[in-house]
Structure 1
Amino acid sequence: MDKEFDIKNHDTRDPNPWLAMYLDSSIPINNQTKQALMRDNNSRSTRYLLPFIKLWSKISMFFIHILKFFVPKLFNSSKALHRILALGLKRFVSPDANLLIFRHFHAGSEILEFIAKNVPGTQVTTSPLKPYDFKDVRDDLFLNHDLNLYNFVIKLNSELREKEQTIAKQTDLNLEMVSEDQFNHIQFPNRWTNILDLRSAIELFTPFYQLFLTANDFVRASNSLQLDETIAIYTTQILGTPGHLGLVNNKHPMVPTSTYTAAYRLVLHGLATETLHEILVNIKLGRSKDGVVTPA
């Protein structure tokens, strides 16, 4: 265990807020992921670089928005975007932040597959995105992630309407697709340049996302974050546990919000995915019937 998460180092006159969050068990989340997130929150990059990067990001997005209004097809290249993202992740993002980013695609893919396999009478095929290396990022990984979400919602609900069905609680759950721990990622680089925390990396990448994608692709990507509520509702309908909706912060997809908040909401999106995935893990391992582990 890292020393910052050791209760022996607790100072009652100067308590570490990230130690408190790590020890708190009210929110289900994978332990290694939780450690990575707490270290990321307490990193020098978060404390010293993030405020300046956020300012640069918002100013850049404003001018790119104006540029795209007059020349909407300039720089449109998903391939170029994802090459930049892959290089940036490899060269400048910290191992903890890379772990959180790569885990997100695996956990999200498994949640969609769980829903698809636990709605009887439907035949919705999913397109899992499970990157293991930076090379996998180049295959339009981030763009395809957003497309998968919308296509999944469209295909599932078109079948439900056609067959006049609804999503209902299942007593015999199919959890074969749920990985119980990590996803066998590569050992992420830890050179002197790999310093960026998760939020700084997202804030830096967001203007590039806006610049190299069409306006439709960028707005759709931003709005897809609010589908957290939709996916959570599907899952709670299957589990019969609506209380889990309290863990979702990106809500109301029918009322889209500003793209300028996309970076912050993307971090919340990652947290919502991790908590929902851990709920499924807890059920699979028999820790509880609804995914909530009750302390002894």
Structure 2
Amino acid sequence: MLHKKEYFENMVNEPRNPSHWHAMFLDKSVPFNADAKAAFLYDSSTKSRQFLYPVAKVFARLSIVLMQFFKIFIPNLINAPKMLHKSLFWGMKYFITPEANFIILRHFYLGSEVLRFIKDNVDGSTDIPMNPLKPLGVSDVKDNLFLEHDLNLYNFIINLNKAIEEKGLKITKKEKPDFSAITAGEIPFREFRDGWTNFIDLGTAIEIFTPVYQFYLTDNDFWRATNSLQLDEVIGIYAATIMDCPEKLTALNNKHPMIPLPTAGAAFRLLLHGFSTEVLHALLVQGKLAKIEST
């Protein structure tokens, strides 16, 4: 699979020229899966991230603003989610680094596990419908993966809170949380392509893909998708209440879910969204391992 963890573990520090990425990998102040952290930091240290990202960012955000202007008059002209996901699949397979693809697929997998963890620990919520997304290869993206992920998040919050209101359910601290939904080991992803064209880092890829996402969806669908990025705090509060660790929410950065933000900055907020999911899942993994050790 990926072996970037060994890359950082074997890195020799030069006191007169220390590596930012090395320091961040060794720092354990924020919980993060070691393999995912190594992949993310390695990907962030590439020439693509340093030189291509600033250029792509300018053109991508300008494209979003211009497209938003045109969609004032033709908001529903294009609605092609299948074509969108085929485009994302080809871009991911042939142009994005293996590390970036690893992080992207982990996000969907972990997100589904976090939602299931919350459901499993709210008494009386067994009839809330779930649609777990656990892709193991880039080809799984073609099944409307990105769009389904957004819908899952909204539908879970809506269905959970309807059940809370109608059935009197409560999200409360659990003395012994059910961690059965959480994967503590390695996720068996299929091998990622690593050809000479797979050079685009995660941050640059997200900047490029965001206007593509906007182009193929209706204005309402794109608006809803970008607003979903601010629901991290909502999900974080649910999980932190169950775990009784509200102080851990400091790592969740997409704040203020009731205040919509400009769509032009959606790509950066998507990076924060992925980071927050990794941190929250790592907290749950820590809880699961601590529970196993205590038994």
Letter in 1 for 2:202: L
Aligned to 2:166: 162
Q: Residue 36 of structure 1 contacts residue 96 of structure 1 at CA under 8 Å; is this kept in 2? A: yes
**Amino acid of the residue matched to residue 222 of structure 1?**
T
**8 Å CA contact retained: 2:11, 2:22:** no
Give the deviation of 1:74 after TM superposition: 2.2
- Paired position in structure 2 for 1:192: 196
Whole-angstrom CA distance in 2 between matches of 1:174 and 1:110? 12
2: CA distance between counterparts of 1:31 and 1:8? 15
Q: After TM superposition, list the pairs within 5 Å mapping 1:225-236 onto structure 2.
A: 225-236=229-240
Opposite residue 194 of structure 2, the aligned amino acid is N
Structure 2 gaps of 5+ residues are none
SS of residue in 2 equivalent to 1:226: helix
Aligned to 1:218: 222
Separation of aligned partners in 2, 1:226 and 1:31: 25
- Does residue 97 (structure 1) correspond to residue 100 (structure 2)? The answer is yes
Structure 1 gap ranges (5+): 290-296
**Which residue of 2 is the match for residue 18 of structure 1?**
21
CA offsets, 1:69-99, max 9 Å, x none?
2222223200110000001000100000000
Matched, 1:255 2:259: yes
Q: Does 1:205 align with 2:180?
A: no
Runs of 4+ aligned residues of structure 1 deviating over 4 Å after TM superposition are: 1-4
Q: CA deviation at 1:166?
A: 2.2
Whole-Å Cα distance in 2 between the matches of residues 233 and 257 of structure 1? 21
Q: Provide the rounded CA distance (Å) in 1 between the counterparts of 2:239 and 2:169.
A: 16
Q: Compute the displacement of 1:287 (Å).
A: 7.4
Q: Deviations over 1:216-256 (max 9, x none)?
A: 11111111111000000000111111111111000111111
Q: Which amino acid aligns with 2:275?
A: L
Q: What whole-Å deviation, never above 9, does each CA across 1:152-205 have from its counterpart, x for those lacking one?
A: 000000000112232100112111111112221111000000001001000000
Specify the SS of the correspondent of 1:237: helix
Match of 1:70 among 60, 70, 73: 73
Mapped contact 2:174–2:242 kept (Cα < 8 A): yes
**Which of 46, 50, 54 is residue 51 of structure 1 equivalent to?**
54
Asked whether the 8 Å contact 2:75–2:220 carries over to 1, the reply is: no
Q: Count the aligned residue pairs.
A: 289
Counterpart contact for 1:4–1:19, Cα < 8 Å: no
Which residue pairs with 2:118 in the alignment? 115
| Matched-pair contact (CA < 8 Å) for 1:116–1:126 | no
Aligned-residue sequence identity (percent) comes to: 45
Q: TM-score normalized by structure 1?
A: 0.94
Q: Distance in 1 between matches of 2:137 and 2:77?
A: 30
Deviates more, 1:263-272 or 1:2-11: 2-11
Partners of 1:117 and 1:101 lie apart in 2 by 25
Query: Equivalent residues in 2 for 1:267-282 (5 A)?
Result: 267-282=271-286
Contact 2:123/2:169 (<8 A) preserved: no
Residue of 167, 176, 201 corresponding to 1:172: 176
Provide Cα deviations, 1:87-123, integer angstroms capped at 9, x if missing partner.
Answer: 1000100000000000000000000000001000223
Please, what is the CA RMSD of the aligned residues?
A: 1.6
Q: TM-score, normalised by structure 2?
A: 0.94
Q: Distance in 2 between matches of 1:68 and 1:115?
A: 37
